[in-house]
Amino acid sequence: MDSNTFLAQMLNKAWRFLYGRGFIDGFGHISARTADADRILVAPHSLTEGSQPEDFVVVDLDGNQIGTDVRLPAELPIHLAIYRSRPDVGSVAHLHSLYSTSFTMTDQRLGISYFLGSVFRKGIPIHPDSRLIVNSDRADALAATLGPHRAVLMRAHGVAVAGSDVQEMVSWAFLLEENARRTWVSAAVGEVEFLSDESMEEIEGEMLASGGPIKRIWSLCEAEAGVDD
């Protein structure tokens, strides 16, 4: 099996999991950097829950398709700009996750209330532009807002998540929305108590050192994707 085939299988599992969980609600797309660092595999426009590995399209970082001519997501520039600005990033998702996005439409701050959300302890910036990211200027501005972070909120729009690989991307997308959901519920009950940076630093370190939560989320992804390798 070549590396692109394996990567497409990973993306297919990720897509089906995120779609099934409602993170992709008819809008959204995911991608991963190939062994050729100047090319990515990306979900095409209008991909459904019945995705297959062969649906994912090879595109270079200038947005040119390699070997196909299918319709690409209008907001493909999000992916291209993040990969160009972040050599450490191997997988990107743009989602319209309900709970995360709600915190861009209110004065309630999305802090870290859930212990596994500690991976976002350095911040989840909010990009002020709600427009579709359909050109390089807007995409570069979004990538600048993301900076070195694992995720960026897009005001009244959605989120973009960046991981070192597909498993990390799925984990960060899952944990971003889970932290937002728990914070949202907590805010409905009373004043939210956010974790201290000291606590989050220790929790984050243990999570990344063991890799346990990432492996657990990916196991959940594989179980819910309903596909065989």
Q: What is the pLDDT of residues 146-168, one digit of tens each?
A: 999 999 999 999 999 999 999 99
User: DSSP state, 103?
Assistant: T
Category of 205 on φ-ψ map: left (φ > 0), alpha (ψ -120 to 50) or beta: alpha
Which residues have CB under 8 Å from 228's CB, separation 6+?
Answer: none
User: DSSP state, 154?
Assistant: E
Q: What is the pLDDT of residue 1?
A: 75
Q: What Cα–Cα distance (Å) separates residue 88 from each residue in 32, 133, 147?
A: 12, 22, 12
Averaged pLDDT of the chain? 96
Q: What is the pLDDT of residue 140?
A: 98
Which residues have CB under 8 Å from 80's CB, separation 6+?
Answer: 40, 59, 61, 62, 63, 136, 139
Angle (nearest 5°) at CA 167 between 165 and 170 = 110
Q: What is the pLDDT of residues 93-108, one digit of tens each?
A: 999 999 999 999 999 9
Q: Identify residue 113 by its one-letter amino acid code.
A: S
Tell how strand 151-154 and strand 126-127 pair up: parallel
Instruction: Tell me the pTM.
Output: 0.97
Cα 142 from chain centroid (whole Å): 14
User: DSSP state, 61?
Assistant: T
Q: Counting Cβ atoms within 10 Å, is residue 188 exposed (0-12), middle (13-18) or buried (19+)?
A: exposed
Q: What is the pLDDT of residue 154?
A: 98
DSSP 3-state percent helix, strand, coil across the chain (nearest 5): 45, 15, 40
**Contact predicate 191/183, CB 8 Å:** no
Is the per-residue pLDDT at 79 higher than 90? yes
Q: How confident is the model at residue 25 (pLDDT cuts 50, 70, 90)?
A: confident
Read off the pLDDT of each residue in 107-113 and give the average, rounded to a whole number: 94
Is the per-residue pLDDT at 58 higher than 90? yes
**Contact predicate 39/58, CB 8 Å:** yes
Q: How confident is the model at residue 48 (pLDDT cuts 50, 70, 90)?
A: very high
Structure tokens at 139: 């995409």
Q: What is the pLDDT of residue 26?
A: 81
Q: Identify residue 20 by its one-letter amino acid code.
A: G
**Contact predicate 155/164, CB 8 Å:** no
**Contact predicate 176/120, CB 8 Å:** yes
Domains of the chain, earliest start first: 3-225 (3.40.225.10)
Which residues have CB under 8 Å from 64's CB, separation 6+?
Answer: none
